[in-house]
Structure 1
Amino acid sequence: MALFYAVIYLPARYYIGVDVDSFETLSVEWRAGLVFSACILLALIFTGLPKALHKVGVPYVIERLNYYNGNLPIWNAVVQFVTAAIGLVGGLSIGKEGPAVHLGATLGGYLAGKAKLPQYGVETLLACGVAGAISAIFQTPLAGVLFAFEVIFLEYRQRYVLPVLLSSVIATLVSHYFIGPLHIFSIDSISSVVLSLDMFLACFVLVVFIVLLSALFLHTQKILWRFSSVSVWVRFSAIAVLTALAAVYFPEALGSGYGPLTDVLSGEFVIYSLFLLVIIKTLLTAFTVGLGIPGGMIGPTFIIGGLAGAQVAQMFESEFIYIALFALLGMAAMMAASFQAPLTALVAIVEMTNSSEVIVPALFVIVLSCLLIRVFFHQESVFVERLSYIGMASSINPLQRYLRQHTVKPVSEQVLSLSAQLLLERVNDLALSVVNYAVFKQAEKWHLVRRTLLLEALQTLDFGPQPWLVVDDENVLMDLTKAVESMPISLIDEPASLETILSWFQATGLSEVLVALPDNSFCLVSRQRLDQFLLEDD
């Protein structure tokens, strides 16, 4: 994340002399030139890439988690890194948080794959990567943890909390070391919040405004998703033209920075219509993301909500209505309504401002915004809606989730590994074992046999020499292929979870399988034991 941040910001500071988000300080030619250059470069990249590498962002992370056991290809993350950096430097209205989530999740999944962890380990590290990425970009460790659960997993998972918290805290410390503290804006002007009738009336007006903006934000994207099959040159050219127009008349709408919001809070930003800027920023971000630019939406929604809150505060002339306070409330409400992540939005605002004064009014606007957007617009998270549009589920069913949280251990049975020709003394020692099954290899195939059958075959020596006796030098051995009736059995490597082995049973129609464990031992898994386990734990 520190590298991603440096790639975005350092070139702009070196060549232009300003931060990458301060586009309003540049000339019109520079602003329009950056926009067109970024769109052309992105179109060239996506034209030369195979279709499989076009899929990036938070919806892609959720898709890979639900349908591919969290396996995120490295090259998609590389494409996300490069293309998001180009879009951000070019002034397109996107955020860096979505790409950061993809990069963090890919790193977590890659490390889990290298360590050959079971499925719950893969999901844990993926959650660690997501939380660490958000924490590093915002320097908000608790919000990073909640984002991973509310937005990616769509549920709270207690068994993942400790490692995810650790990852989030360490990511924040590393971000502080490499980037320095990120002070987005100060709210020193808010000394206390008076919970008056005027305050809650203004909050309700803000809720209505935020709900309408969130609906506009999503439904604009839904319309544009229909054009996903259109050539990238057509789509990105349209984005370039619209963004260039904004660069001429409303340069504050460019990029993902908090400059306009900071200026509003400080009183330095004077514009003839703050309301118009909010609408333009909403539509421009929805248009850019909806037509396929690989960027995030979290940062822009913060800006949209903050400017909307400032607009509502200006409508009320009251000593209890602070512009800074309502900017914070707008940020929280817009994020919560757009992504259905109420606790993430609340904690992010508290951590970013180091203030607890906003908690009560923030809860009011967050809860109402989330409820109204669901009741009147039947709207889920933007990411969930995107997955639903392409025919994919945003979450897995309870049975799949339960199976993914367990390895084969609770449904397995220990198996002895024997040679096809075994010393009689070794066969006799099996009487002391409590293991019921043994396996041996013959002609590159594994065979399963009951331990008791081997002991019964050994007892037939009381009636004289047997056809399975083999004399090798001074050793007397039992040929297991002739002594007992065995059953050929398939061998597989240890699966990541019970979901994988259930799928194997369903695909093959077999009832038993031999599983090779990492310590070179074996265990036997049967469909019957798996069914019993599920019934017992219901």
Structure 2
Amino acid sequence: MPPIFIAQNYLSAFSEGFEKHTRLYSLRPLPNSNPLTRMPKKTVRITPLRLFSLKNFRRSLSHENALPQLALLAILVGVITAFVMILFRSFIEVGADSLFGINSENFEMLDIVVRFLSPIIGATLIGVLLFRLPSNKRETGVAHVMSKLSEYQTRLPVINALVQFFAGGIALVAGLSGGREGPAIHLGATGASVLGSTLKLPYNSIRILVACGAAAAIASSFNTPIAGVIFAMEVVVMEYSIATFIPVIISAVTGAVLVRAVFGSVAAFTVPPVDLTGPTELPYIIAAGFVIGCFAALFVQLVELFARSKISSYWVRASIAGVLTGCVGLVIPQALGIGYDTVDLILAEQYTVSLLITFLVAKLVVTAGCVGLGIPLGVIGPSLVIGATLGALAGTVGGALMPASASPISLYVLLGMTAMMAAILQAPLFSLMAVLELTANPNIILPAMLIIVVATMTMSQVFRKKSVFTSRLSALGLGYPPAPMTQYLLRTGVESLMTRNFLVLDPETNINELRQALISHAVAGKPFPEWIIVESEPTGETSILRGEEALNASNSNFGSPPKLDEMPQLKRDLPHISVRSTLAEALWSLEQTESETLCVRELTNATVGPIVGVLSRRHIVNHSALTQGPPISP
């Protein structure tokens, strides 16, 4: 019988799948005289799988739709994020109370000298603590999380999270202008990343857990679970899929419930009942949206200008941010800190137009300065405050132009908050849901949708500005989000697609020894090996050939038996990849090495472990449906 038919018979005889429960597998010899097939009938008992082992748990997570496992992990991420948020907010509140005898928002109550010195001392302290760190260790906030998501392995370093926690907390206690939501997102995402790394989970699942941490952080910090979910999907991962949506929802709910149990569930702002007076105001709302979009573009431009400052010393940059904030605090103390208390005053119409204009300029410049110069603070909270100020000005002007038909100023305040945040973040749906949950007022939905569209398009289309986060990534030379096909491949781990049907042999093995190895492999009740891996122990060099090719060679060489390392069919210098990797990283590795096949290994930071699988380009292409006709044949 020709060797190729023997190969086909063996492939047919040994390619039966393993059942989940114990069963008997009977190997039957083929009716011919080849030595490989003269095997006694042997019965092999296959033991049940340990279905609930951590190894099987990791393996199941490598699949794209491992919802039960991800749901369980999402609960853990929500608990971890809530705990970190409670610590972070307590750090800020206790620090402000201990040092100044106020809560973290009432900087107007401080003495004028304290208002001037507090930001300077805080910023200088941050600069002194961090200036010896490498610049990559000082990267914090949402942009840092997104930059790590643009990498294949999604590892958020703990050192950056510690910098975010303590430096961000010091900055907020000292009154530097910025938000706590950006630090919260970084801390929540890092907690999720550390959990995944500790359990050695596949990287495709860690990406989803990072999104869960971001959602739980927004839900915990803002007390807005729906907005947390939308933020994670719209801003952080920039894609929507059921496999991501469900765990993110679970994590956001878990985090919000636990933080509400500690800090209560009161809405962030006190908003009187408001509604749009009539459709005649819609043209004016469109005009207001255009103006807010212009200010959003100005804010992003200022952040970029401060970030491009030629001052290289970090402690000098931080000190400049402190001096800038301190000088502003002398005149406009409301510009210190986040500014949520100022929003309540604006909603209550306790202001003058001159004060609003002065506060708007001060808050815009000082926040852009602090964020651009590297103070580890966020922009989400200040965007709400700046938007509220613009909305109050728009409402005041609208009341003067249309005294009989203008809506209450508080409605314009809410619309300004929504539009400004949507434009700066380029996240319209998140902004709409955030303001709706923060104010518990559904009457703003219709006009808010209109003003969000106008403000977002003004910034992105008229001024060609990206969001404040993607602008930062562009400055670092990173493209975000990844291409759609790359995003698709990032959802799946290599372990879900690789084959475990291989045989590892030494390069000194000759054809006769190969034949005996195949006999032993078959007698042990294992399927015919799809791949023969030739691994050199001293050098670590790995080569590969197909099982059918090895079988053909074993049946056609009966003279002086050549060694495996001498076979012309052998594909040498095989690349390898970690079993935790995604298909995107695997495809990149294949393209970089111009190979068609790679080995999947158990890899750690210190050692290169054993081979656990083989993955080919054909498997990835067929899985991702890159071809338009039928799948590529072997």
Q: Same fold (TM over 0.5)?
A: yes
* Aligned pairs for 1:103-118 within 5 A: 103-118=187-202
1:22 to 95, 99, 106: 106
How far off its partner does 1:270 sit? 5.2
Q: Match for residue 353 of structure 1? A: 439
Change in Cα spacing, 1:364 to 1:499, as seen in structure 2 (3 Å) is same
1:290 to 363, 368, 372: 372
1:218 to 289, 300, 319: 300
- Give me the CA root mean square deviation: 3.2
Is 1:195 the equivalent of 2:278? yes
Q: Match for residue 508 of structure 1? A: 593
How far off its partner does 1:509 sit? 3.8
- Cα distance in structure 1, aligned partners of 2:535 and 2:468: 54
Change in Cα spacing, 1:291 to 1:486, as seen in structure 2 (3 Å) is same
Change in Cα spacing, 1:453 to 1:55, as seen in structure 2 (3 Å) is closer
* Aligned pairs for 1:425-440 within 5 A: 426=520, 429=523, 433-439=527-533
What SS does structure 2 have at the residue aligned with 1:524? strand
Task: State whether residues 310 and 326 of structure 1, in contact with CA within 8 Å, keep that contact through their aligned partners in structure 2.
Answer: yes
Cα offsets for 1:152-210 (capped at 9, x unmatched)? 223333320000000001110111122222432222332x433331x324423421331
Letter in 2 for 1:498: L
* Aligned pairs for 1:376-415 within 5 A: 376-408=462-494, 412-415=498-501
- Cα distance in structure 1, aligned partners of 2:285 and 2:598: 61
Q: Match for residue 171 of structure 2? A: 87
Of stretches 208-217 and 353-362 in structure 1, the one that deviates more from structure 2 is: 208-217
Change in Cα spacing, 1:269 to 1:16, as seen in structure 2 (3 Å) is farther
User: Gapped runs of 5+ residues in structure 2?
Assistant: 1-84, 507-512, 604-608, 629-634
Cα offsets for 1:7-55 (capped at 9, x unmatched)? 0112222342221110001110121121111121012112232222121
- Cα distance in structure 1, aligned partners of 2:179 and 2:115: 18
Q: Match for residue 44 of structure 1? A: 128
User: Gapped runs of 5+ residues in structure 1?
Assistant: 469-478
Letter in 2 for 1:308: L
State the identity %: 30
Q: Match for residue 98 of structure 1? A: 182
* Aligned pairs for 1:151-300 within 5 A: 151-190=235-274, 192-197=275-280, 199-227=281-309, 229-269=311-351, 272-300=354-382
- Cα distance in structure 1, aligned partners of 2:365 and 2:565: 78
Of stretches 426-435 and 239-248 in structure 1, the one that deviates more from structure 2 is: 426-435
What SS does structure 1 have at the residue aligned with 2:499? strand
Instruction: Give the TM-score normalised by structure 2.
Output: 0.75
Letter in 2 for 1:290: G
Change in Cα spacing, 1:5 to 1:431, as seen in structure 2 (3 Å) is closer
- Cα distance in structure 1, aligned partners of 2:177 and 2:565: 75
Change in Cα spacing, 1:309 to 1:415, as seen in structure 2 (3 Å) is same
Change in Cα spacing, 1:125 to 1:467, as seen in structure 2 (3 Å) is same
Task: State whether residues 417 and 522 of structure 1, in contact with CA within 8 Å, keep that contact through their aligned partners in structure 2.
Answer: no
Cα offsets for 1:462-481 (capped at 9, x unmatched)? x9xx999xxxxxxxxxx997
What SS does structure 2 have at the residue aligned with 1:84? helix
Task: State whether residues 293 and 454 of structure 2, in contact with CA within 8 Å, keep that contact through their aligned partners in structure 1.
Answer: no
Change in Cα spacing, 1:248 to 1:509, as seen in structure 2 (3 Å) is same
How far off its partner does 1:504 sit? 2.5
What SS does structure 1 have at the residue aligned with 2:501? strand
Q: Match for residue 476 of structure 1? A: none
Q: Match for residue 208 of structure 2? A: 124
Q: Match for residue 527 of structure 1? A: 617
Letter in 2 for 1:511: E
Task: State whether residues 148 and 155 of structure 2, in contact with CA within 8 Å, keep that contact through their aligned partners in structure 1.
Answer: yes
Change in Cα spacing, 1:16 to 1:529, as seen in structure 2 (3 Å) is closer
How far off its partner does 1:368 sit? 1.0
Change in Cα spacing, 1:132 to 1:120, as seen in structure 2 (3 Å) is same
2:423 to 337, 350, 354: 337
- Cα distance in structure 1, aligned partners of 2:242 and 2:584: 20
Of stretches 405-414 and 134-143 in structure 1, the one that deviates more from structure 2 is: 405-414
Change in Cα spacing, 1:429 to 1:252, as seen in structure 2 (3 Å) is same
Instruction: Give the TM-score normalised by structure 1.
Output: 0.87
Task: State whether residues 267 and 440 of structure 2, in contact with CA within 8 Å, keep that contact through their aligned partners in structure 1.
Answer: no
Cα offsets for 1:243-266 (capped at 9, x unmatched)? 222211111111103111111222
Change in Cα spacing, 1:521 to 1:265, as seen in structure 2 (3 Å) is same
Is 1:364 the equivalent of 2:458? no
Task: State whether residues 415 and 439 of structure 1, in contact with CA within 8 Å, keep that contact through their aligned partners in structure 2.
Answer: no
Of stretches 332-341 and 483-492 in structure 1, the one that deviates more from structure 2 is: 483-492
How far off its partner does 1:271 sit? 6.9
How far off its partner does 1:535 sit? 5.4
What SS does structure 2 have at the residue aligned with 1:523? strand
Letter in 1 for 2:171: G
Cα offsets for 1:66-90 (capped at 9, x unmatched)? 1353211110111111111111111
Letter in 1 for 2:585: T
Of stretches 129-138 and 287-296 in structure 1, the one that deviates more from structure 2 is: 287-296
Letter in 1 for 2:482: I
What SS does structure 1 have at the residue aligned with 2:101? coil
Task: State whether residues 36 and 244 of structure 1, in contact with CA within 8 Å, keep that contact through their aligned partners in structure 2.
Answer: yes
Of stretches 47-56 and 487-496 in structure 1, the one that deviates more from structure 2 is: 487-496
Change in Cα spacing, 1:433 to 1:346, as seen in structure 2 (3 Å) is same
Change in Cα spacing, 1:225 to 1:53, as seen in structure 2 (3 Å) is same
How far off its partner does 1:112 sit? 1.9
Task: State whether residues 489 and 512 of structure 1, in contact with CA within 8 Å, keep that contact through their aligned partners in structure 2.
Answer: no
- Larger relative contact order (Cα-Cα within 8 Å, sequence gap ≥ 6): 2
Q: Match for residue 29 of structure 2? A: none
Task: State whether residues 521 and 528 of structure 2, in contact with CA within 8 Å, keep that contact through their aligned partners in structure 1.
Answer: no
What SS does structure 1 have at the residue aligned with 2:254? helix
How far off its partner does 1:516 sit? 3.8
Of stretches 389-398 and 446-455 in structure 1, the one that deviates more from structure 2 is: 446-455
How far off its partner does 1:103 sit? 1.1
